[in-house]
Amino acid sequence: MSALALSVLLALVSAVAYAVGAIVQERVAVTDRGHRYAPVRRPGWWAALALNGLGALLHVGALVYGPLSVVQPLGALTIVFALPIAAVFLHRRAGRAARVGAVLATVGLAALLSLTGTADSQSMTDGTELVVAGGALGVVAALFVLARWVLRPVLGAMALAGAAGVAFGIASVFIKSLAVGWGSLGLTGQWEAVPGVVVFAAAGVLLSQASYRDAGLTAPLATVTVVNPAVASAVGLGVFGETFRYGATGALLAVAAAVLSAAGLLLLTTGRARNDGKEEELPVELLPAVPVQQAKGPARGTAGSRDRRNVTP
Protein backbone atom coordinates (compact mmCIF):
# COMPACT_ATOMS: atom_id res chain seq x y z
CA MET A 1 0.00 0.00 0.00
CA SER A 2 1.35 3.41 -0.99
CA ALA A 3 1.82 6.21 1.50
CA LEU A 4 -0.99 8.23 -0.08
CA ALA A 5 -3.42 5.28 0.02
CA LEU A 6 -2.58 4.63 3.68
CA SER A 7 -3.14 8.31 4.42
CA VAL A 8 -6.55 8.22 2.73
CA LEU A 9 -7.56 5.08 4.66
CA LEU A 10 -6.54 6.58 8.00
CA ALA A 11 -8.38 9.80 7.17
CA LEU A 12 -11.58 7.90 6.34
CA VAL A 13 -11.53 5.91 9.59
CA SER A 14 -10.75 9.15 11.45
CA ALA A 15 -13.82 10.77 9.88
CA VAL A 16 -15.99 7.90 11.12
CA ALA A 17 -14.64 8.29 14.66
CA TYR A 18 -15.23 12.03 14.56
CA ALA A 19 -18.78 11.49 13.26
CA VAL A 20 -19.71 9.15 16.11
CA GLY A 21 -18.06 11.49 18.63
CA ALA A 22 -20.03 14.45 17.27
CA ILE A 23 -23.31 12.55 17.57
CA VAL A 24 -22.55 11.71 21.19
CA GLN A 25 -21.54 15.32 21.89
CA GLU A 26 -24.79 16.60 20.44
CA ARG A 27 -26.85 14.18 22.54
CA VAL A 28 -25.03 15.33 25.67
CA ALA A 29 -25.48 19.00 24.72
CA VAL A 30 -29.25 18.79 24.29
CA THR A 31 -29.79 16.80 27.49
CA ASP A 32 -27.47 18.79 29.76
CA ARG A 33 -28.40 22.46 29.63
CA GLY A 34 -26.35 23.51 32.61
CA HIS A 35 -22.84 22.96 31.23
CA ARG A 36 -22.34 24.67 27.90
CA TYR A 37 -18.68 23.96 27.15
CA ALA A 38 -17.55 21.01 29.28
CA PRO A 39 -20.21 18.81 30.93
CA VAL A 40 -17.58 16.88 32.86
CA ARG A 41 -20.14 15.04 34.99
CA ARG A 42 -21.64 13.27 32.01
CA PRO A 43 -20.02 9.92 31.06
CA GLY A 44 -21.21 10.44 27.50
CA TRP A 45 -19.03 13.52 27.18
CA TRP A 46 -15.96 11.54 28.17
CA ALA A 47 -16.93 8.87 25.64
CA ALA A 48 -17.15 11.59 23.01
CA LEU A 49 -13.71 12.85 24.03
CA ALA A 50 -12.34 9.31 23.68
CA LEU A 51 -13.81 9.03 20.17
CA ASN A 52 -12.44 12.44 19.24
CA GLY A 53 -9.05 11.38 20.63
CA LEU A 54 -9.12 8.24 18.48
CA GLY A 55 -10.05 10.33 15.47
CA ALA A 56 -7.21 12.73 16.26
CA LEU A 57 -4.65 9.91 16.47
CA LEU A 58 -5.79 8.51 13.14
CA HIS A 59 -5.75 12.03 11.73
CA VAL A 60 -2.15 12.48 12.86
CA GLY A 61 -1.22 9.23 11.13
CA ALA A 62 -2.92 10.43 7.95
CA LEU A 63 -0.99 13.70 8.07
CA VAL A 64 2.28 11.80 8.51
CA TYR A 65 1.77 9.87 5.29
CA GLY A 66 -0.17 12.35 3.18
CA PRO A 67 -0.33 16.06 2.30
CA LEU A 68 -2.48 18.46 4.28
CA SER A 69 -4.50 19.41 1.20
CA VAL A 70 -5.64 15.77 0.87
CA VAL A 71 -6.23 14.81 4.49
CA GLN A 72 -8.22 17.89 5.50
CA PRO A 73 -10.81 17.76 2.69
CA LEU A 74 -11.41 14.09 3.52
CA GLY A 75 -12.29 15.21 7.02
CA ALA A 76 -15.40 16.81 5.54
CA LEU A 77 -16.75 13.29 5.09
CA THR A 78 -17.49 13.40 8.82
CA ILE A 79 -20.89 14.95 8.10
CA VAL A 80 -21.53 12.41 5.33
CA PHE A 81 -20.81 9.51 7.69
CA ALA A 82 -22.85 11.12 10.46
CA LEU A 83 -25.96 11.02 8.25
CA PRO A 84 -26.46 7.22 8.11
CA ILE A 85 -25.11 6.71 11.65
CA ALA A 86 -27.69 9.12 13.07
CA ALA A 87 -30.38 7.48 10.93
CA VAL A 88 -29.58 4.05 12.37
CA PHE A 89 -29.03 4.90 16.03
CA LEU A 90 -31.21 8.01 16.46
CA HIS A 91 -33.90 7.10 13.91
CA ARG A 92 -33.43 10.32 11.98
CA ARG A 93 -34.52 9.98 8.38
CA ALA A 94 -32.56 11.76 5.69
CA GLY A 95 -34.59 13.71 3.16
CA ARG A 96 -33.95 13.87 -0.56
CA ALA A 97 -31.94 17.10 -0.27
CA ALA A 98 -29.69 15.55 2.36
CA ARG A 99 -29.05 12.47 0.21
CA VAL A 100 -28.24 14.56 -2.85
CA GLY A 101 -25.96 16.75 -0.76
CA ALA A 102 -24.07 13.72 0.53
CA VAL A 103 -23.48 12.50 -3.04
CA LEU A 104 -22.32 15.92 -4.24
CA ALA A 105 -19.97 16.34 -1.29
CA THR A 106 -18.46 12.90 -1.89
CA VAL A 107 -17.98 13.48 -5.64
CA GLY A 108 -16.42 16.89 -5.03
CA LEU A 109 -14.01 15.52 -2.46
CA ALA A 110 -13.05 12.62 -4.74
CA ALA A 111 -12.33 15.10 -7.56
CA LEU A 112 -10.30 17.28 -5.22
CA LEU A 113 -8.33 14.24 -4.10
CA SER A 114 -7.53 13.23 -7.68
CA LEU A 115 -6.21 16.71 -8.44
CA THR A 116 -3.86 16.94 -5.47
CA GLY A 117 -0.20 16.64 -6.34
CA THR A 118 2.74 15.64 -4.22
CA ALA A 119 5.45 17.99 -3.01
CA ASP A 120 8.26 17.99 -0.51
CA SER A 121 6.62 19.73 2.42
CA GLN A 122 8.58 21.80 4.88
CA SER A 123 7.94 22.57 8.52
CA MET A 124 7.02 26.07 9.61
CA THR A 125 9.64 28.43 10.94
CA ASP A 126 9.26 30.16 14.28
CA GLY A 127 8.14 33.39 12.63
CA THR A 128 5.56 31.62 10.47
CA GLU A 129 4.18 29.75 13.49
CA LEU A 130 3.65 32.99 15.37
CA VAL A 131 1.91 34.62 12.41
CA VAL A 132 -0.38 31.61 11.84
CA ALA A 133 -1.18 31.21 15.56
CA GLY A 134 -1.77 34.94 16.09
CA GLY A 135 -4.04 35.26 13.08
CA ALA A 136 -6.02 32.16 14.07
CA LEU A 137 -6.44 33.32 17.66
CA GLY A 138 -7.76 36.65 16.41
CA VAL A 139 -10.33 34.97 14.17
CA VAL A 140 -11.43 32.54 16.91
CA ALA A 141 -11.76 35.38 19.43
CA ALA A 142 -13.79 37.50 16.99
CA LEU A 143 -16.20 34.64 16.27
CA PHE A 144 -16.53 33.91 19.98
CA VAL A 145 -17.43 37.54 20.72
CA LEU A 146 -19.87 37.52 17.80
CA ALA A 147 -21.54 34.41 19.24
CA ARG A 148 -22.06 36.20 22.56
CA TRP A 149 -23.54 39.32 20.97
CA VAL A 150 -25.92 37.97 18.33
CA LEU A 151 -29.55 37.83 19.38
CA ARG A 152 -30.54 34.57 17.71
CA PRO A 153 -29.13 31.48 19.50
CA VAL A 154 -28.81 29.53 16.24
CA LEU A 155 -26.59 32.20 14.70
CA GLY A 156 -24.49 32.24 17.85
CA ALA A 157 -24.11 28.47 17.62
CA MET A 158 -22.97 28.76 14.00
CA ALA A 159 -20.39 31.36 14.99
CA LEU A 160 -19.08 29.00 17.69
CA ALA A 161 -18.96 26.18 15.13
CA GLY A 162 -16.99 28.40 12.77
CA ALA A 163 -14.53 29.21 15.54
CA ALA A 164 -14.21 25.48 16.29
CA GLY A 165 -13.50 24.80 12.61
CA VAL A 166 -10.73 27.40 12.56
CA ALA A 167 -9.22 25.96 15.76
CA PHE A 168 -9.29 22.38 14.44
CA GLY A 169 -7.79 23.45 11.12
CA ILE A 170 -4.88 25.30 12.74
CA ALA A 171 -4.28 22.37 15.11
CA SER A 172 -3.88 20.17 12.02
CA VAL A 173 -1.45 22.69 10.56
CA PHE A 174 0.76 22.44 13.64
CA ILE A 175 0.49 18.64 13.63
CA LYS A 176 1.60 18.59 9.99
CA SER A 177 4.52 20.86 10.82
CA LEU A 178 5.58 18.46 13.60
CA ALA A 179 5.24 15.47 11.28
CA VAL A 180 7.29 17.06 8.52
CA GLY A 181 10.11 18.28 10.77
CA TRP A 182 10.27 15.21 13.02
CA GLY A 183 13.06 13.50 11.11
CA SER A 184 15.34 16.51 10.78
CA LEU A 185 14.54 18.66 13.81
CA GLY A 186 12.98 16.27 16.31
CA LEU A 187 10.61 17.40 19.02
CA THR A 188 13.13 19.67 20.73
CA GLY A 189 13.81 21.54 17.51
CA GLN A 190 10.18 22.51 17.07
CA TRP A 191 8.74 22.44 20.56
CA GLU A 192 6.86 25.67 19.87
CA ALA A 193 4.37 23.75 17.76
CA VAL A 194 3.30 21.49 20.66
CA PRO A 195 1.43 24.21 22.60
CA GLY A 196 -0.25 25.20 19.35
CA VAL A 197 -1.61 21.68 18.88
CA VAL A 198 -2.84 21.45 22.47
CA VAL A 199 -4.42 24.91 22.67
CA PHE A 200 -6.20 24.85 19.32
CA ALA A 201 -7.38 21.23 19.62
CA ALA A 202 -8.80 21.84 23.11
CA ALA A 203 -10.47 25.06 21.94
CA GLY A 204 -12.03 23.21 19.01
CA VAL A 205 -13.53 20.54 21.29
CA LEU A 206 -14.98 23.04 23.76
CA LEU A 207 -16.36 25.39 21.11
CA SER A 208 -17.95 22.57 19.11
CA GLN A 209 -19.56 21.20 22.27
CA ALA A 210 -21.15 24.59 22.94
CA SER A 211 -22.37 24.95 19.35
CA TYR A 212 -24.49 21.78 19.49
CA ARG A 213 -26.71 23.07 22.31
CA ASP A 214 -28.69 25.65 20.35
CA ALA A 215 -28.45 24.37 16.77
CA GLY A 216 -28.59 20.58 16.94
CA LEU A 217 -26.13 18.30 15.17
CA THR A 218 -26.19 18.92 11.44
CA ALA A 219 -25.61 22.64 10.96
CA PRO A 220 -22.72 23.02 13.46
CA LEU A 221 -21.04 19.79 12.30
CA ALA A 222 -21.30 20.83 8.65
CA THR A 223 -19.86 24.24 9.50
CA VAL A 224 -16.90 22.67 11.29
CA THR A 225 -16.26 20.20 8.49
CA VAL A 226 -16.28 22.97 5.88
CA VAL A 227 -14.25 25.59 7.76
CA ASN A 228 -11.68 23.09 9.08
CA PRO A 229 -10.37 21.84 5.69
CA ALA A 230 -10.73 25.26 4.09
CA VAL A 231 -8.43 26.86 6.68
CA ALA A 232 -5.93 23.99 6.83
CA SER A 233 -5.75 23.53 3.05
CA ALA A 234 -5.21 27.25 2.51
CA VAL A 235 -2.31 27.21 4.98
CA GLY A 236 -1.01 23.98 3.47
CA LEU A 237 -0.91 25.49 -0.01
CA GLY A 238 0.58 28.75 1.20
CA VAL A 239 3.05 27.52 3.83
CA PHE A 240 3.94 23.90 3.10
CA GLY A 241 4.38 24.26 -0.65
CA GLU A 242 1.63 21.76 -1.57
CA THR A 243 0.30 22.01 -5.12
CA PHE A 244 -2.37 20.73 -7.48
CA ARG A 245 -1.77 18.77 -10.65
CA TYR A 246 -1.98 20.30 -14.14
CA GLY A 247 -0.85 23.74 -13.03
CA ALA A 248 -3.33 26.60 -13.31
CA THR A 249 -5.95 24.35 -14.93
CA GLY A 250 -5.73 21.92 -12.03
CA ALA A 251 -6.08 24.76 -9.56
CA LEU A 252 -9.26 25.98 -11.29
CA LEU A 253 -10.66 22.45 -11.36
CA ALA A 254 -9.81 22.11 -7.67
CA VAL A 255 -11.74 25.30 -6.93
CA ALA A 256 -14.72 23.92 -8.88
CA ALA A 257 -14.50 20.65 -6.92
CA ALA A 258 -14.37 22.58 -3.66
CA VAL A 259 -17.45 24.59 -4.69
CA LEU A 260 -19.25 21.35 -5.55
CA SER A 261 -18.38 19.92 -2.15
CA ALA A 262 -19.51 23.09 -0.41
CA ALA A 263 -22.81 23.01 -2.32
CA GLY A 264 -23.30 19.39 -1.32
CA LEU A 265 -22.59 20.17 2.32
CA LEU A 266 -25.00 23.12 2.16
CA LEU A 267 -27.74 20.87 0.80
CA LEU A 268 -26.91 18.30 3.42
CA THR A 269 -27.09 20.92 6.14
CA THR A 270 -30.39 22.46 5.04
CA GLY A 271 -31.99 19.07 4.43
CA ARG A 272 -31.00 17.69 7.81
CA ALA A 273 -31.71 20.97 9.61
CA ARG A 274 -35.30 20.88 8.39
CA ASN A 275 -35.72 17.38 9.71
CA ASP A 276 -33.92 18.09 13.00
CA GLY A 277 -35.83 21.30 13.67
CA LYS A 278 -39.25 20.15 12.53
CA GLU A 279 -41.80 20.27 15.30
CA GLU A 280 -44.63 17.79 15.34
CA GLU A 281 -47.99 19.40 14.80
CA LEU A 282 -50.78 18.14 17.01
CA PRO A 283 -54.20 17.47 15.52
CA VAL A 284 -56.80 20.08 16.28
CA GLU A 285 -58.78 17.73 18.49
CA LEU A 286 -55.72 17.11 20.66
CA LEU A 287 -54.88 20.76 21.18
CA PRO A 288 -55.80 22.09 24.63
CA ALA A 289 -58.92 24.16 24.66
CA VAL A 290 -58.39 27.82 25.38
CA PRO A 291 -60.91 28.96 27.99
CA VAL A 292 -62.87 32.06 27.10
CA GLN A 293 -62.46 34.71 29.75
CA GLN A 294 -65.82 35.56 31.18
CA ALA A 295 -66.71 38.82 32.84
CA LYS A 296 -67.81 38.24 36.37
CA GLY A 297 -67.71 39.68 39.82
CA PRO A 298 -67.46 43.41 40.30
CA ALA A 299 -67.04 44.13 36.61
CA ARG A 300 -70.37 42.62 35.66
CA GLY A 301 -72.10 44.09 38.70
CA THR A 302 -70.70 47.49 37.99
CA ALA A 303 -71.78 47.32 34.38
CA GLY A 304 -75.22 46.10 35.41
CA SER A 305 -75.62 48.83 38.01
CA ARG A 306 -74.58 51.41 35.47
CA ASP A 307 -77.13 50.10 33.00
CA ARG A 308 -79.88 50.10 35.60
CA ARG A 309 -79.12 53.67 36.58
CA ASN A 310 -79.37 54.79 32.99
CA VAL A 311 -82.81 53.18 32.46
CA THR A 312 -85.73 55.57 33.21
CA PRO A 313 -88.79 54.05 34.88
List pLDDT tens digits, range 67-92: 776 787 787 788 788 878 888 887 76
Backbone dihedral angles phi then psi of residue 253, each to the nearest 5 degrees: -65, -35
Q: In this predicted structure, what is the pLDDT of residue 242?
A: 67
Q: What angle do CA 52, 107, 112 make, to 5 degrees?
A: 75
Which residues sit opposite 116 in a β-bridge? 244
SS3 279: coil
Whether pTM > 0.85 for this model: the answer is no
- The DSSP-derived string for 189-207 is GGTTHHHHHHHHHHHHHHH
Q: In this predicted structure, what is the pLDDT of residue 313?
A: 42
| Distance from C-alpha of 48 to C-alpha of 221, rounded to nearest angstrom | 14
H/E segment holding residue 228: helix 218-239
Work out the number of other CB atoms within 10 angstroms of the CB of residue 6: 15
CB 4 within 8 Å of CB 65: yes
User: For residue 205, which of 69, 46, 3 has the smallest C-alpha distance?
Assistant: 46
Residues with Cβ within 8 Å of 187's Cβ and at least 6 positions away in sequence, in order, are: 178, 194
| Distance from C-alpha of 276 to C-alpha of 66, rounded to nearest angstrom | 36
What residue spans define the domains of the chain? 3-280
Residues with Cβ within 8 Å of 182's Cβ and at least 6 positions away in sequence, in order, are: none
Residues with Cβ within 8 Å of 108's Cβ and at least 6 positions away in sequence, in order, are: 257, 258, 259, 260, 261, 262, 263, 264
User: For residue 23, which of 94, 77, 73, 79 has the smallest C-alpha distance?
Assistant: 79
Per-residue pLDDT of the chain (313 residues; tens, 9 = 90+): 788 889 899 999 999 999 999 999 888 888 876 677 878 888 888 999 999 899 988 988 888 888 776 787 787 788 788 878 888 887 766 677 777 877 887 788 778 767 766 555 566 666 788 888 899 999 999 999 999 998 888 889 889 999 999 999 899 888 877 777 665 555 555 666 788 889 999 999 999 989 988 777 777 887 887 788 778 777 877 776 667 777 788 888 888 988 888 888 777 666 655 555 443 333 333 334 444 444 444 544 444 444 444 444 4
Residues 105-138 as b or e (16 or more Cβ within 10 Å = b): bbebbebbbebbeeeebebbeeebbeebbeebbe
Rounded CA Rg of the chain: 26
